[in-house]
Amino acid sequence: MTVDQTGHTTGMMPMTLTQIANAVDGRLTRADGVDVNAPIAHSAVSDSRQAGSGSVFIAIAGEHVDGHDFVASVVEQGAVCALVDHEVDAPLPQIVVADTVAALGALARYNIERRRAGSQPFSIIGITGSVGKTTTKDLLASLLSELGPTIAPFGSFNNEIGLPLTALKVNAETRFLVAEMGANHIGEIAHLTTIAPPDLAVVLKVGVAHLGEFGSVERIAQAKSEIIRGLLPGGVSVLNADDSHVAAMADIAPGLVRWFGINTDQKNGHAAGETLIARNITQDDTGHPHCDFIPVAADGTYGEATPVTLAIRGRHNVMNALAAANVAMYFGMQPTAIADVLARKDHISAHRMAVSTVSRNNVTFTLIDDSFNANPDSMRAGLDGLAAWHAGERPRRVAVLGAMLELGGNEDELHRAMGRYAVEIGADAIIAVGGADAHLDELAGSLADGARTAAQQGVSPNGTVPSVDWVHTVDQADAKVMELAAGQGETVVLLKGSHASGLSALASRWTPQH
């Protein structure tokens, strides 16, 4: 077991090899001399480097690396068995299954069932949405940790591998599991809810991320609604009242519905319920939002306003904070205590509106690193953050933007619109970053075309004509930023693009993590 930042142990409920084999419907082999009925397994990992005393190693055959090649190496690290899809020549008990990823899910399901059978309270909170899942997860985990031992995934562990690995950190001490649930296709979230069925489900937004995969926004809404259908009987739904696709999910909710939003009219016609709204939203010069959180009873009665300042940046994060606060309030946390945690929670998962100072080759600039991934909603939010940075002082603003993927047949137009938006918010320079992949490069070209057209039309709010460059490698983007920032006084640079664009690697080059 390991110990998390709240001081409690993390690691699955202790299991015997027999229990594991039965849970995953596998065949136990190479267990001679081992007490198969002793509770010797305490954790589960799929990365051999993380294996330790009492670990179950899940050997997954990936696109580039096959975990079966590392079964022998985990023996010296103290692993007690491995889940494999074929027997490996290694001195370690092995449980042979047809599919190790499916077996991982089955083991996580068994772990959750054992935790639920305990006498102490335990709740699973599932979070989904086209944008904001990981930030909301990070905020909610910090809030719930004030109420009891809380498990939440690292980064964006939200798929058929990441979610069960997180669920296998739950043990008898755990009070809350915050389960982020993502989807690239219909049925994916439904499957995740069979592994960790939520007591409470949060739906943030239905956007156009993965539109190319799903085919329509309606299909995306269908996929996100699977988390509501996957709730335990009588489970609680926490829904974005400002998004009509999300609000419609109230009609399939199995129990209590709670709402959050800024413009809350969209919920009209759907289930009544307590609402948490934000009013009087402003930002300081470095992008920290200020607002009032106001609870509204189901009968429309307004409660007392609580002033809130977020330690993280970006006006768009007010919605994520509202969602997290709504859940915390449901579990009994007081609004003032929530505001205190949100004012202190300044660290979230990497490459999400992270601000730092970069100094290289006698050039210094401020970096807003929002490069984890991108879709039209999140890129607009990132550009809004760039525009808000020291708005009264007018620093030189450089938007380094990569392609957005899986947007369907409308992708060229969406990229041109984003280039135009970069000009409209007052960027002084726009660098569209393509790559060796022809498709990525073409999309970056469309973004640059949209910015050039807007620049020629004079839509910049400060009356200047921004420079627009289309580059084809992150090295070229690096050099261009250095050229633009050299000798220009205060400069602020935004990095925003899909993971495939490589901009997060550029961020790591500029601000290496130690």
User: Is 364 known to sit in a ligand binding site?
Assistant: no
CA dist., res. 378 & res. 451, Å (int): 18
pLDDT of 334 reads 97
What DSSP line would sit under 55-112, residue for residue? EEEE--B-SS-BGGGGHHHHHTTT--EEEESS--SSSS-EEE-S-HHHHHHHHHHHHH
Paired strand residues for 9 = 3
The tens place of each residue's pLDDT in the chain, 514 residues long, gives 444 444 455 689 999 999 999 999 999 999 999 999 999 999 999 999 999 999 999 999 988 899 999 999 999 999 999 999 999 999 999 999 999 999 999 999 999 999 999 999 999 999 999 888 989 999 999 999 999 999 998 766 789 999 999 999 999 999 999 999 987 788 999 999 999 999 999 999 987 554 555 557 788 888 899 999 999 999 999 999 999 999 999 999 999 999 999 977 566 677 778 999 999 999 888 889 999 999 999 888 999 999 999 999 888 899 999 999 999 999 999 999 999 999 998 877 677 778 889 998 889 999 999 888 788 888 998 999 999 888 778 899 999 999 988 777 788 999 999 999 999 999 999 999 998 889 999 999 999 999 999 999 988 887 788 999 999 999 999 999 999 999 778 999 999 988 888 898 898 899 875 4
CA dist., res. 197 & res. 214, Å (int): 24
User: Is 261 known to sit in a ligand binding site?
Assistant: no
**Summary count for the chain: helices (H), strands (E):** 16, 22
Type of residue found at 301: T
pLDDT of 324 reads 98
User: How many degrees, rounded to 5, is the angle at CA 23 between CA 59 and CA 34?
Assistant: 70
Domains in the chain, start-ordered, CATH in brackets? 2-100 (3.40.1390.10), 120-344 (3.40.1190.10), 354-508 (3.90.190.20)
User: How many degrees, rounded to 5, is the angle at CA 421 between CA 416 and CA 427?
Assistant: 115
Q: In terms of C-beta distances under 8 Å and separation of at least 24 residues, what long-range contacts does 485-488 make, across chains too?
A: 485/363, 485/364, 485/365, 485/396, 485/398, 486/362, 486/363, 488/396
Cβ atoms of 29 and 96 closer than 8 Å: yes
Q: Treating both helix axes as pointing N-terminal to C-terminal, what angle do 317-330 and 133-144 enclose, rounded to 10 degrees?
A: 40
Task: Find all residues with CB under 8 Å of 363, minimum gap 6, and list them.
Answer: 482, 485, 486
pLDDT of 209 reads 54
CA dist., res. 232 & res. 193, Å (int): 9
CA dist., res. 104 & res. 20, Å (int): 10
Q: In Å, how far are 80, 119, 230, 253, 443 from 125, measured between CA atoms?
A: 31, 19, 12, 15, 37
User: Is 133 known to sit in a ligand binding site?
Assistant: yes
Residue with tokens 């009209």, as numbered in its chain: 268
User: Is 131 known to sit in a ligand binding site?
Assistant: yes
pLDDT of 267 reads 67
Paired strand residues for 400 = 431, 495
pLDDT of 407 reads 78
pLDDT of 5 reads 43
Closest CA to 381 of 135, 80, 123, 49: 135
CA dist., res. 190 & res. 188, Å (int): 5
User: Is 130 known to sit in a ligand binding site?
Assistant: yes
